[in-house]
Amino acid sequence: MFEDIGEPAPEFRDSENSKNATNNNRYTQVENDILFNPVEGLNDENEEDDEKENKDNKENESLAKTSTNSKNKKEIKKLKIILLGEKGVGKSSLIKRYVSNKFHSFEDKQDLEINIKKIDIDDNISAELSIYDTTNEQKLGKITKNYYKDAHGAIIVFDLTNKNTFNRVKYWLKEINSNAPRDIVLCLLGNKADLTSDRNVAYEDAKTVAEDNLYYEVSAKTGNNVSLAFEQLTYGIIEKENEEEDNPEKVIRGKEGRRTADLNDINMMNKELNRKKCC
The tens digit of pLDDT for each residue in 84-111 reads 999 999 999 999 999 999 887 765 455 5
The tens digit of pLDDT for each residue in 120-175 reads 988 888 999 999 987 655 554 567 888 999 999 999 999 999 999 999 999 999 99
Closest CA to 190 of 143, 224, 232: 224
pLDDT at 26 over 90: no
Q: What is the pLDDT of residue 52?
A: 66
The tens digit of pLDDT for each residue in 200-217 reads 999 999 999 999 999 999
Rounded Cα gap, residues 136 and 142, in angstroms: 10
Phi-psi region of 244 (alpha: psi -120 to 50; beta: other; left: phi over 0): alpha
Closest CA to 255 of 142, 176, 152: 176
Rounded Cα gap, residues 85 and 80, in angstroms: 17
Closest CA to 2 of 68, 47, 55, 51: 55
DSSP code per residue over 198-225: G--S-HHHHHHHHTTSEEEE--TTT-TT
CB 185 within 8 A of CB 237: yes
- Counting residues of the chain whose pLDDT is more than 70, the rounded percentage is 56
Rounded Cα gap, residues 5 and 97, in angstroms: 54
Q: What is the pLDDT of residue 161?
A: 98
pLDDT at 6 over 60: no
Its pTM stands at: 0.64
Q: How confident is the model at residue 15 (pLDDT cuts 50, 70, 90)?
A: very low
Domain boundaries, given as residue ranges, for the chain: 15-71, 75-278
Domain 75-278 annotated CATH 3.30.360.10: no
Q: How many residues belong to the chain?
A: 279
Q: What is the pLDDT of residue 129?
A: 96
pLDDT at 267 over 80: no
CB 127 within 8 A of CB 238: yes
